[in-house]
Copies of this chain bind each other. A is one copy, B any other.
């Protein structure tokens, strides 16, 4: 199995992208259905430009993709980015579990 290495700045961008509730909501929505940028903008109490910026942050973090369709641009979720974030947290969990096992082993030595 090829364990694709994640660069640190890539991870910075990924977690930074998740660190805003509006962006988390956008990810949720575009995972379920398709939305144009203006379609998303209509959902939130902020300017179009603000939502546009949030989408740009998500795009830079590889969590969504944009695709031109007619006069608009549709936003889709990108499963790969999500998996990368999950993979890192899984790694931490693994480290944690190893540590728990080691401690149990030490305690058993008495």
The residues of A with any CB-CB pair to B shorter than 8 Å are: 8-9, 11-12, 14-16, 18-21, 24, 27-28, 31-32, 77, 79, 82-83, 85-86, 88-90, 92-93, 95-96, 99
A contacts with B: majority SS: helix
A90 to B82, CA, bound (A): 10
Whether A21 pairs with B11 at a CB distance below 8 angstroms is yes
Nearest CB of chain B from residue A38's CB, rounded to whole Å: 22
A85 to B27, CA, bound (A): 15
Across the A-B interface, the 7 shortest Cβ-Cβ residue pairs? A15-B19, A15-B18, A16-B19, A8-B21, A86-B89, A15-B15, A31-B95
Of all chain B residues, the one with the shortest Cβ separation from A29 is B95
